[in-house]
Structure 1
Amino acid sequence: MCIIKKAERIDLQEILQLQYLAYQSEAALFGSRDIPPLKQTIDEVIEEFNSGVILKMTDEKDTIIGSVRAKESDGTVYIGKLMVHPNHRHKGYGSMLLSEIEGYFPDKRYELFTSTRSLDNIRLYQKLGYTIFTRKVMNDELEFVYMEKNGNDQY
C-alpha cells in the first residue's frame, strides 16, 4: 500500500535521485540528457521545498516511488515534476499524486506543462480535466504544451 504525504527536508536528496531516474524516459524522447529535470541541483530542489509543497509517495518499505511539486502565485497553482519510479508506472500513482497536490490548494486554477512529445503525460492530464491553453516552441526539437484546470470544475 502506498502512502502520499508532504516531503520533509531529509527526503529531498532521495526525491532528486528519483527525478534523475524517472526523467530518463523523457530524455529518451529527445535523444538527449540535456533537459532541465536531469540538470537540477539539490539546492534548487531545496529552494522549491522552501517556497511551495513537495509531496512524496512511499511504498510499504518506505521507499519514495513518486513525487510532485506545486507553488501558488496570484491564484494559480503551478504544478511540476510529477514523477513515478519506472517500475511503478501505469498503476494510477501519477493520477493519485496529481489529485493529492490539487487538494493542498482547493478551488484554484492549476497549470502545468509538458513536452508535445510526451503523449502519455498529455493523455493523463486530459483524463484528469486539464486542457491545453497554449504552446511554446523552445527550439527545433522542443515544444511545450501548457495545460490548465479550474479547481472548481468537475471532470
Structure 2
Amino acid sequence: MVEIELAQPEDAGEVLTLQRAAFLTEAQRYDNPHLPMLTETLDEITAVISGPGTLLVGRTARGRLVAVGRGRLDEHGTCHLARLAVAPDLRGRGLGWRILVAIEAAHPKALRFELFTGAESHDNIRLYERNGYKIFDRRLLDRGPGLVYLAKPAVR
C-alpha cells in the first residue's frame, strides 16, 4: 500500500532522485534528453517544496518514496499540475492517477487543470485522457522540445 502525503523539506533529496530516475527512463525511451525535470537542482526542489502550491509524495509502508506530483493554483483559478513522476519499477500500477486525484482534491476551487507531459509520453497521455484531460496544445515550447499541454475542466 502507498500512502499519499505532503512533501516535507527533508524529502527533497528523495524527490530529486525519483524525478531523475523517472524522467531519465522517459528521456531514454523516447530519445528526448530535453525534459526540464532532468536539470533541477536540490535547492530548486527544496524551494518547490517550501513554496506555494502542493507537492505530494507517495511512500510505501517501508518508507520508500515511489511517486511525486505538484499542483499550484494561479490567480486565474487554474491549477497547474507538474512533476508527476512514478518510480520506473512501479509504473502502470495507478500511482500517477492517485497523485492526480489527491492534487485535484487539494485544490477544490480550481476552475481548470493544466499539465504538461512529453509529446512522446504515450503512457502518460493515456493516463491523463482516462482521467478526463484533453490535449489542447502540442506546440514546441521554450522549456524543451516535445511538450504537450492538456486541460481538464473542473467538475462542479
Structure 1 residues 51-90: aligned runs within 5 Å: 51-74=52-75, 75-90=77-92
TM-score by length of 2: 0.90
Equivalent residue for 1:117? 120
Q: Report the AA paired with residue 35 of structure 2.
A: I
Residues 27-83 of structure 1: per-residue CA shift (max 9 Å, x gap):
114435443211101111122221221101000101111110111112111000101
Q: Report the AA paired with residue 148 of structure 1.
A: A
Q: 1:83 and 1:26 mapped to 2: Cα distance?
A: 10
Q: 1:142 and 1:117 mapped to 2: Cα distance?
A: 10
Residues 74-118 of structure 1: per-residue CA shift (max 9 Å, x gap):
211100010110111111111111101111001411100112111
Deviates more, 1:30-39 or 1:8-17: 30-39
RMSD value over aligned CA atoms? Answer: 1.7
User: Which secondary structure state, in structure 1, belongs to the residue aligned with residue 79 of structure 2?
Assistant: strand
Q: Report the AA paired with residue 135 of structure 1.
A: R
Aligned length: 152
Q: What is the percentage of aligned positions where both structures have the same residue?
A: 34
TM-score by length of 1: 0.90
CA contact (8 A) 1:66 1:93 kept: yes
2:142 is the counterpart of 1:150? no
Say if 1:31 and 1:134 are closer, same or farther in 2 by CA, change over 3 A. Answer: closer
CA contact (8 A) 1:113 1:146 kept: yes
2:22 is the counterpart of 1:22? yes
Structure 1 residues 124-139: aligned runs within 5 Å: 124-138=127-141
CA apart distance, 1:143? 2.6
CA contact (8 A) 1:107 1:152 kept: no
User: Which secondary structure state, in structure 1, belongs to the residue aligned with residue 92 of structure 2?
Assistant: coil
User: Which secondary structure state, in structure 1, belongs to the residue aligned with residue 108 of structure 2?
Assistant: coil
CA apart distance, 1:24? 1.5
User: Which secondary structure state, in structure 2, belongs to the residue aligned with residue 51 of structure 1?
Assistant: coil
CA contact (8 A) 2:34 2:145 kept: no
Q: Which runs of 4+ in 1 moved over 6 A?
A: none
Deviates more, 1:30-39 or 1:46-55: 30-39
